[in-house]
Structure 1
Amino acid sequence: MPDALTDLAPVSPPRTPARRSAGLGEALRWTAFRMLERLSDWRGNNTQGVFALSDPQARGPALWLYVTTIGELNAVAPMLEWLVAQRPDLRPVLITEHAHYQEAYLARLPGAVVCLTRGHSLDARKLAAQLPPQVLALAEIPCLPSDAPCRFSYAFLREARRCGASTLLLNGWLYHYAPPARLDQVERQLLEADFLRALDVLCVQDAATAQILAGRGAAEDRLVVTGNMKFDAMQRPHWQVSQARSPGLLGALIEAGRPTVVGGCVTELAEQQAVLGAFQRLRQQHPQALLILAPRHPENRERMQALLAQVEAQDLRWVRRSAVPDAALPESVNCLVLDTVGELRDFYAAASVAHVGVDHNVLEPLGLGKPLTIQEGWNTTYPSYPVYRLLRDQGVLHSCADEAALHAYWRAAIEGAASVQDDLRRTEEVLSALRGSVARHQQACLPWVAR
């Protein structure tokens, strides 16, 4: 990510891309790893037996895409849409280890196939046999094997190379995580440099990431500092409520104009309690106020029960999004619990003011021009941190230490305070200066994507 609010210089990709052979050393290292993986299989490797396709009959040349979460899919969507448009001859295949993302992924890319896998080598071979890739794009992470709380194994990258696919890293960034399991540790030790050399172009967010990857085996002539495309992706000037998955409910909320607080990805119980307490204070001045509360992992029953217990204790009239029709909410409802996957980004459009939970995506509400609050305590290893750090350093994130501070800012935002309008103008100035990464990505990747 650039340190100053200036555009990065245009990139200069290779004019005539040349493929590089892996070599005998890589083949020997891969053979050693496969022997260890087979031993792990015999002992009960939990990456086995997960492989599934949303369309089991799908066949033909493919564009493989690895995106870790719904948030990351939204963050790199302009680039993925460009790739799909560049190669309409290829069937998009979204690779994931999260079955509960399938519906949201297909809503974003309706023509895609979702491949569920935990990264076993045999899964990579099966997928390549059925949907052989011509292009593979890794979106944001992992830049290194097992450098994230998700798993994209070298096996998939190797199969893509074996099929002759171009291999692209988009919006690259490092978590600096240690591999979680013994076999993952071995994979990194044996195959890290091969992983990096198997990528034709590595688009990374900042010079520090480029320097680290070069030191660990990436070819410097394949590294391109492009900035962070999240600043482009969160622009939504042409968004319409008809594009949402719940247009009836969301459209009615926007039309009603109720004072609405959207709390997105509020996962920690202490922060949830602060949000609920601030909302109760807000209702004293605005009795018709509505709280839309979106937990990070609605599929986690224990977490949901704890959240709902807190809501119940506040004596709010609440409903789950999954339990109501796509129609206007009754005016008596004080709290909508957004327990569906992939809808939060659209529901920010109904916000009078938004609050984003620690370690999550502040750009989604900011991209819609919404006033925003956060709390402190962000983890430097999370993918949201680079954006948080930059915007914090530019003074455009409003941090609230407790429920009293949250209430004060929310009330000011709802009542149109001049100070909040000044915050919004300053935020837009900063965001505008940080855009342009998608164009740099396209320039760097075009030689590898064109037929």
Structure 2
Amino acid sequence: MPDAVIDTPPASVRRTGLGEALRWRMFRAMEQLSDWRGNNTQGVFSLSDPEARGPALWLYVTTIGELNAVAPMLEWLTAQRPDLRPVLITEHAHYREAYLARLPGAVVCLTRGHSGDARALAERLPPQLLALAEIPCLPSDAPCRFSYAFLREARRSGARTLLLNGWLYHYAPPARLDQIERRLLERDYLQALDVLCVQDANTAEHLARRGAPRARLQVTGNMKFDAMQRPGWQVSQARSPRLLGDLLASGRPTVVAGCVTELPEQRAVLGAFRRLLAQHPQALLILAPRHPENTERLQALLSLLQDEQLVAARRSELDDAPLPKQVQCLVLDTVGELRDFYAAAQVAHVGVDHNVLEPLGLGKPLTIQDGWNTTYPSYPVYRMLHDQGVLHTCTDEASLCAYWLAAVAQAPQIADDLRRTEEVLAAMRGSVARHQAACGAWVSAARG
């Protein structure tokens, strides 16, 4: 789909039609019935700053990884509109600290998407801009919930509405009320967005068929290839600068394994690390499980480390101080620190279905395993890099260890891999500039 020229209407034109109003009343009646039956989206609403008031920039970002992925665009938006208080909307309470570390001046709004929450937020922090990044492009299209109510309240407040880095999961709505919302309000949801920046032409065409105005669709590529660059990064910017700085200075052979969630892959990583220790007794494994707040999964990992007789420590139980030398495995059971700890790696491993660009952005050799899910947001990047032949897939612990040993030894193979990877990544950048060109008029119009 070719780039379109989007005309910006006057700021006062934000009304919905009679048909939308009727459909909204029907949905609200169903939501009220669900409330009477015990709707679990009620009673969650809270603000990190309960006293916050005034005009706002609403931001919906599904995870810490997605926040990092679209950070250059969010930083540009907040720089363009310093008069607006950023409000990060999330259903995940455990993201609050990491979100505020990334955007210290922001307010974090905790909600599960109830329309009453949308009204309450609009009364206290009325939006002039709303940005969705990068999902959901459709109601309940992902294992997260940004309800039409928030989009509708933004329009009622006169806000300009932007979709950034759009991509589709192709998930079915998980609950009956979500199914009703999509059936009744999908076209209204799409038509309430002023500009839809999507990753590829297939996504644009799919959304057009579902009701998105073609003139508002922009194919802007994947912003993650820009966000991975960290040219000005310094250890002092990390949340654990003393611990991380000591690791960087120590010279210990270090493997950082990020988002390794499933037990078989955890066993493969630990088995490979055991083999590495046989040749490098001072080696360190930094292992970051996905969702460390899941106590059952975390306890299973700690039991596995005990079975392997590895000396382990949990990051959450340590001060920001040099890591004791006897520790062989640091379990990174905090949220929002993994991206910085990749800096300490001689080699990185990324768990299946997660973000390979974070370690690549720091120039780290990387291993992965097979079995990636086509519906996950990490898949488009994985597929592109896999097709270009720059991801090193290992089938077992022996092949994992062999590549890690080559990385620790700085073998010529590793330098060749990194050079080819950088050439491929360089060719895929430029999405942030395309987003800014597509959204610039709407950001300026929001001042009206």
In 2, Cα distance between the equivalents of 1:236 and 1:284?
34
Q: Which residue of 1 aligns with 2:235?
A: 241
- State the shift of 1:22 in Å: 2.1
Q: Secondary structure, in 3 states, of the residue corresponding to 1:262?
A: strand
In 2, Cα distance between the equivalents of 1:197 and 1:54?
31
In 2, Cα distance between the equivalents of 1:203 and 1:382?
19
AA aligned to 2:382 is Y
Match for 1:77 among 71, 74, 94? 71
The answer to whether the 8 A contact 2:4-2:216 is kept is no
In 1, Cα distance between the equivalents of 2:316 and 2:44?
27
Q: Which residue of 2 aligns with 1:4?
A: none
Q: Secondary structure, in 3 states, of the residue corresponding to 2:161?
A: strand
- State the shift of 1:420 in Å: 1.2
Is it true that 1:49 corresponds to 2:46 in the alignment?
A: no
Equivalences for 1:39-438 in 2 at 5 Å?
A: 39-438=33-432
- State the shift of 1:20 in Å: 5.8
- State the shift of 1:14 in Å: 2.5
The answer to whether the 8 A contact 2:195-2:438 is kept is yes
RMSD of aligned residue pairs (Cα, Å): 1.0
In structure 2, the gaps of 5 or more residues are none
The answer to whether the 8 A contact 1:17-1:447 is kept is no
In structure 1, the gaps of 5 or more residues are 1-7
Q: Secondary structure, in 3 states, of the residue corresponding to 1:188?
A: helix
In 2, Cα distance between the equivalents of 1:182 and 1:322?
38
Please, what TM-score do these two structures have when normalized by structure 2? 0.98
Q: Which residue of 1 aligns with 2:29?
A: 35
In 2, Cα distance between the equivalents of 1:377 and 1:13?
40
- State the shift of 1:21 in Å: 3.8
- State the shift of 1:15 in Å: 4.9
- State the shift of 1:34 in Å: 0.2
Q: Secondary structure, in 3 states, of the residue corresponding to 2:118?
A: helix
Q: Secondary structure, in 3 states, of the residue corresponding to 1:329?
A: coil
The answer to whether the 8 A contact 1:322-1:339 is kept is yes
Match for 1:14 among 6, 12, 15? 6
Same amino acid, percent of matched pairs: 79
In 1, Cα distance between the equivalents of 2:325 and 2:17?
67
The answer to whether the 8 A contact 1:230-1:363 is kept is yes
In 2, Cα distance between the equivalents of 1:154 and 1:16?
22
In 2, Cα distance between the equivalents of 1:132 and 1:13?
29
The answer to whether the 8 A contact 1:13-1:445 is kept is no
The answer to whether the 8 A contact 1:97-1:150 is kept is yes
Give CA deviations for 1:216-252 in whole Å, capped at 9, x if unaligned: 0000000000000000001011100000000000000
- State the shift of 1:324 in Å: 1.1
In 2, Cα distance between the equivalents of 1:157 and 1:143?
12
Give CA deviations for 1:135-169 in whole Å, capped at 9, x if unaligned: 00000000000000000000000000000000000
- State the shift of 1:12 in Å: 5.2
Please, what TM-score do these two structures have when normalized by structure 1? 0.97
In 2, Cα distance between the equivalents of 1:351 and 1:279?
13
Q: Secondary structure, in 3 states, of the residue corresponding to 2:128?
A: strand
In 2, Cα distance between the equivalents of 1:391 and 1:415?
25
- State the shift of 1:13 in Å: 4.0
In 2, Cα distance between the equivalents of 1:14 and 1:384?
29
In 2, Cα distance between the equivalents of 1:337 and 1:17?
52
